[in-house]
Structure 1
Amino acid sequence: MRRRVGISLLGGTPFYDGIGGGRRALAWQVGNPGAVAALAYTQNELRAKSRDLVRRNAWAAAGVEAFVSNAIGTGIKPQSMVADNALRETIHSLWWDWCEDADAAGLTDFYGLQALACRAMLEGGECLVRLRYRRPEDGLAVGLQLQLLEPEHLPATLNSERPGGNVIRAGIEFDKLGRRVAYHLYNAHPGDGSLAPMSGNGGTGSSIDTVRVPAAEIIHLFRPLRPGQIRGEPWLARALVKLNELDQYDDAELVRKKTAAMFAGFITRLSPEDSLMGEGLPDANGAAMAGLEPGTMQILEPGEDVKFSQPADVGASYAEFLRIQFRAVAAAMGITYEMLTGDLTQVNYSSIRAGLLEFRRRCEAIQHNVIVHQLCCPIWRAWMEQAALEGALPLTDFSQKRREYLAAKWIPQGWQWVDPKKEFDAMLTAIRAGLLSRSEAISAFGYDAEDIDREIALDNQRADELGLVFDSDPRHDKPPFAAAAPVPTQPDLQDN
């Protein structure tokens, strides 16, 4: 007897259209794997196809670059919330010195590492950052550097049980409470083989060996999409097939256009053994070719005819078809169609502003919920603790005031608006109405309010010392409050 699931007892009607074995859902074969099982045996293939598309597909590369440039830009910068002004300035000064040496590979600074980690997360689904603590003789501002590792260093198929009750799932070791206690990493990227600098490990190991690294030294950056998820999913996962087929379709259309541009004629004759006027030597296949020169009028012999090739043309539907497909790809990647293609032919101020606002909401959610929380804050804590341990910062009673010292506000790069005048006028109105503070308005552009105020004060002081008056200085728009006219007094109304 066939079992029917999801059928109402009242009339035999399904509760939902998507269930049952009807004609429309007959070929719909579904599965319901868990958050871990869904990526357990598929993420290696997804990652390989994602990297392949980013390498050779211009649209995939443009989409990744667009999101990284908007999410990171020039960097998400910290602003210490320590109340002591002098100590706060000392923290910021030491941080800027350390940023130059943050990269263990020496290729970029801390904010360049942010962009590299974000790109690795988009392309490969995740990024690993290893905290490398250095010796005092290394001469760093703070004895800490960051080593970025691609997710291939963490074997997705490594699953085992360890003595003591810990388990390894997808290369990550968990304790009995489900907490991450260690990562089992390859010495070198498995795709590099002997080309990797660490493949030989000084003669002590091979690239296929794994090293157990405590979880406190590893930062695992990925976007969690489901509760219980332990590994990341490439952001191109939902657009892989469509992008690959679009690439093939566009290449085929290019070849078709190239073929159509070749002006070819085919001459038919009743007597193949007769020579044609202007007939040349036979080609490699034994077929004779007749040339056609500009300005000539070719006279055909009786029984001869010329037919020209007429390849089929897709007409005006080609551009519209690609536009619709690219909108689906952009939606899968979480960016706008204009950012993916650079096509601005069908936008106006209202439409592009609405699209950018929606994208920026999504981008800000990724910035604060993923990048700041998973990447920036752990690095800030490790840096502050190492600076306190070395005595590079005068943090008295650090263990008792740890939360106070670690408090920081992370400021992403500011957004550039479509019409700055309208946006600035709206912001000025909000500030005057008490709905927005100057500090928050300045932070929206990626700057520190204290730095801006300090620069304004220095500019005004220098201008006053040199006797300069600029139209941009609002102090000269109105007279000082001290020179305001006195309030008139009431006249004496008593009779004399």
Structure 2
Amino acid sequence: MKHKKRNRQKARLPTAPIQPSGTVITRQIINTGYSEHGASYTKGSLAGWRPIRSSPQSDIDVNLSTLRARSADLVMSAPVASSAINTSRTNVIGAGLQLSPKPKYKLLGMTAAEAEEWAKAVKEEFELWATSKFCDALRKNNWYDMQDIAYICYMIDGDSFAVFKYRPPVPGMPYSLRIQLIEASRVCNPNVQSVFDAISPYDMTVRNLDNGNRIINGVEVDDDGAVVAYWVCNRYPYDPTNMSTLSQWQRVEAFGPLTGQPNILQICHDERPEQYRGVPYLAPVLEVIKQVGRYTDAELTAAIIKSFFSLFFKEQFVSNGQFPLQPVFGQHERIILDPNAFELGPATLNVLPPGYDVTSVDAQRSLSTFEPFTRELIKQVGATLEQPYEVLMKAFNSSYSASRAALLQAWAAFKTRRVWFSRDFCQPCYEIWLAESVAIGRIKAPGFFTDPLKRKAWSNAEWYGPVMGVLDPVKDAEGAALRVLYGFSTREKEAAEMTGTSWNENVERLAIEQQTMKSLEIPIVTTTVSKTTQAIPEEGGNQKQ
């Protein structure tokens, strides 16, 4: 029995509509999602916008020479750029971050009192080293001043470096540890330097012929991409005062092979994976700040010219070479006629040669739009740099609440950078110093070199710096008192952050002062009364009346 052959229909898209006549309408494929929005190449506003996202080396390292030079130039010439760097430095570092040793006494089998006494001894010993210029390999600055220098270089160049060196102790300085600060431009690929132009992409990565490691812009990494060494040049890439010195590179291992401790520190904050060099703080706003500076210079020049009162005299005949109106001026004020010399200035009189005339130019120039326009641009700069306009320009003209909100916004960024800097510079320096101090017997720390966990417990510390600007000292002090009262903070932390002093030293000094006042029969005021403190309960549970 023969089966009838079935007619198979051609497959069609289920979404394709069919007309009554049976004709299938073919639809054009339509892009979805971002294809018609942020990723569109057909919209007129986006058709010419075709950026390329590449590796950190292509996007950052190749352009670092230009970014550093422009960043440094703006800091030296543009008030807005200088304010951004100095404001960050003042609030993050101030006069230097202060050490507060915090050994984990429970892990170390100590009591709180014993840990406190140990911390006092360590702090005094650390001050011996940190406050001396002998801690600097160049003997120029103490350790707190070096914080300032390292931070500014990190902000301007994107990163800065500190090398640990050891030199024989000198009278008054029992420690051998020395620190040498190095600017970012000196850490570069061996035998590859760039002065005015960006480094060629072909020169960005070279090979260490001894071990086959890659060297990326002065940072040597192994096959896993881990940093193993830094290459430091003995001179700056461009230094007209030192052109006779032959460039040589020194390979500095990142970590000691025996101790595992760092030999060199890179003060930097990475923004992308596999990023080995930092980006200058001002990089995102270089163009805007430069344009604001040009606009300001143009308006300033126009205002100066507008304030001048200059006259031009035209001769109809050849004179005897004497300036007209000679009797009007004193002998020392008269000038000899020079037809080739003209000057603009306050109350300047100029003589034109015969046949020349001057057409006046309207010097009237309205500055009504200058201030609001530049203010809006600087607001954008401040938002990018996490420094509100009020903080960046030191213009607290708004209400107390608005000014405090601006300070709080800026302070959040300042505290974050303080944590970064203390992790990259302060804490490693302290740990290296503490290791030497324990090794030479000036500090006792059992188990420091035998147990890594105990070493970490002995090395634990906190770092304090300047406090946020205070608009109302009374409210700030009351807030500190409440934080201590309810256990949100400690007296030591509040003293360090509010005044940069030690609470222990403060109370000891206060005891001496009170004893002196008692001996002289001077009344001692022990309490202050305010709307807030009236409601604070005393230790016994009774409220102040």
TM-score range normalised by the length of the shorter chain = 0.7 to 0.9
In structure 2, what is the Cα distance between the partners aligned to 1:436 and 1:93?
A: 24
Unaligned runs of 5+ in 2: 1-27, 106-113, 190-202, 256-262, 326-335, 349-357, 529-533
Pick from 20, 25, 31 the counterpart of residue 40 of structure 2.
20
Deviation by residue 1:120-154 (Cα, 9 ceiling, x = unmatched): 01111111101111223575232111111100111
1:67-86 aligned within 5 A: 67-82=88-103, 83=105, 84=114, 85-86=116-117
Pick from 88, 92, 109 the counterpart of residue 142 of structure 2.
109
Quick one: which amino acid aligns to residue 162 of structure 2?
V
What does residue 35 of structure 1 align with? 56
Contact 2:382 2:389 in 1 (8 A): yes
Unaligned runs of 5+ in 1: 1-7, 201-205, 294-305, 485-496
User: Aligned in 2, Cα 1:388/1:38: closer, same or farther, shift over 3 Å?
Assistant: same
For the residue of structure 2 that corresponds to 1:41, the secondary structure is helix
User: Aligned in 2, Cα 1:438/1:12: closer, same or farther, shift over 3 Å?
Assistant: closer
Deviation by residue 1:350-387 (Cα, 9 ceiling, x = unmatched): 2111101000001101111x101111111111111111
For the residue of structure 2 that corresponds to 1:128, the secondary structure is strand
Deviation by residue 1:146-198 (Cα, 9 ceiling, x = unmatched): 111100111165632234342211111112332221111001223325539xx
For the residue of structure 2 that corresponds to 1:257, the secondary structure is helix
In structure 2, what is the Cα distance between the partners aligned to 1:11 and 1:159?
A: 40
How far the C-alpha of 1:256 sits from its partner, in A, is 1.8
Quick one: which amino acid aligns to residue 146 of structure 1?
I
What does residue 444 of structure 1 align with? 497
Contact 1:326 1:337 in 2 (8 A): yes
Quick one: which amino acid aligns to residue 249 of structure 2?
T
Quick one: which amino acid aligns to residue 230 of structure 1?
Y
What does residue 388 of structure 1 align with? 438
In structure 1, what is the Cα distance between the partners aligned to 2:122 and 2:318?
A: 94
What does residue 454 of structure 1 align with? 508
In structure 1, what is the Cα distance between the partners aligned to 2:516 and 2:324?
A: 87
Quick one: which amino acid aligns to residue 261 of structure 1?
S
Deviation by residue 1:257-315 (Cα, 9 ceiling, x = unmatched): 233233467999xxx8999xx9889862699xxxx99xxxxxxxxxxxx9864234234
Normalised by the length of structure 2, the TM-score is 0.73
Contact 1:97 1:141 in 2 (8 A): no
How far the C-alpha of 1:436 sits from its partner, in A, is 3.9
Q: Which moved more, 1:218-227 or 1:462-471?
A: 462-471
For the residue of structure 2 that corresponds to 1:173, the secondary structure is strand
In structure 2, what is the Cα distance between the partners aligned to 1:457 and 1:86?
A: 19
What does residue 279 of structure 2 align with? 233
Pick from 383, 386, 398 the counterpart of residue 331 of structure 1.
383
For the residue of structure 1 that corresponds to 2:228, the secondary structure is strand
User: Aligned in 2, Cα 1:42/1:365: closer, same or farther, shift over 3 Å?
Assistant: same
What does residue 262 of structure 1 align with? 308
Contact 1:185 1:213 in 2 (8 A): yes
Q: Which moved more, 1:353-362 or 1:322-331?
A: 322-331
In structure 2, what is the Cα distance between the partners aligned to 1:95 and 1:286?
A: 66
For the residue of structure 1 that corresponds to 2:267, the secondary structure is strand
Pick from 145, 155, 159 the counterpart of residue 122 of structure 1.
155
Contact 2:164 2:180 in 1 (8 A): yes
Q: Which moved more, 1:230-239 or 1:161-170?
A: 161-170
Pick from 366, 390, 395 the counterpart of residue 314 of structure 1.
366
What does residue 422 of structure 1 align with? 475
User: Is it true that 1:214 corresponds to 2:235 in the alignment?
Assistant: no
In structure 2, what is the Cα distance between the partners aligned to 1:434 and 1:37?
A: 50
In structure 2, what is the Cα distance between the partners aligned to 1:321 and 1:460?
A: 57
What does residue 177 of structure 1 align with? 224
In structure 2, what is the Cα distance between the partners aligned to 1:93 and 1:110?
A: 14
Contact 1:94 1:141 in 2 (8 A): no
Contact 1:102 1:109 in 2 (8 A): yes
User: Aligned in 2, Cα 1:431/1:89: closer, same or farther, shift over 3 Å?
Assistant: closer
For the residue of structure 2 that corresponds to 1:247, the secondary structure is helix
Quick one: which amino acid aligns to residue 17 of structure 1?
H
User: Is it true that 1:145 corresponds to 2:188 in the alignment?
Assistant: no
How many pairs are equivalent?
443
What does residue 192 of structure 1 align with? 239
Q: Which moved more, 1:53-62 or 1:94-103?
A: 53-62
Identity between Structure 1 and Structure 2 (%): 22
User: Is it true that 1:405 corresponds to 2:458 in the alignment?
Assistant: yes
Contact 2:492 2:503 in 1 (8 A): yes
1:153-164 aligned within 5 A: 153-155=186-188, 157=203, 159-162=205-208, 163-164=210-211
In structure 2, what is the Cα distance between the partners aligned to 1:138 and 1:187?
A: 30
In structure 1, what is the Cα distance between the partners aligned to 2:341 and 2:123?
A: 80
What does residue 250 of structure 1 align with? 296
How far the C-alpha of 1:320 sits from its partner, in A, is 1.2
User: Is it true that 1:432 corresponds to 2:482 in the alignment?
Assistant: no
User: Aligned in 2, Cα 1:263/1:9: closer, same or farther, shift over 3 Å?
Assistant: same
User: Aligned in 2, Cα 1:112/1:266: closer, same or farther, shift over 3 Å?
Assistant: closer
In structure 2, what is the Cα distance between the partners aligned to 1:9 and 1:438?
A: 68
Contact 2:129 2:175 in 1 (8 A): yes
Contact 1:236 1:332 in 2 (8 A): no
What does residue 413 of structure 2 align with? 362
Contact 2:225 2:274 in 1 (8 A): no
Contact 1:265 1:307 in 2 (8 A): no
Quick one: which amino acid aligns to residue 380 of structure 2?
A
User: Aligned in 2, Cα 1:308/1:93: closer, same or farther, shift over 3 Å?
Assistant: same
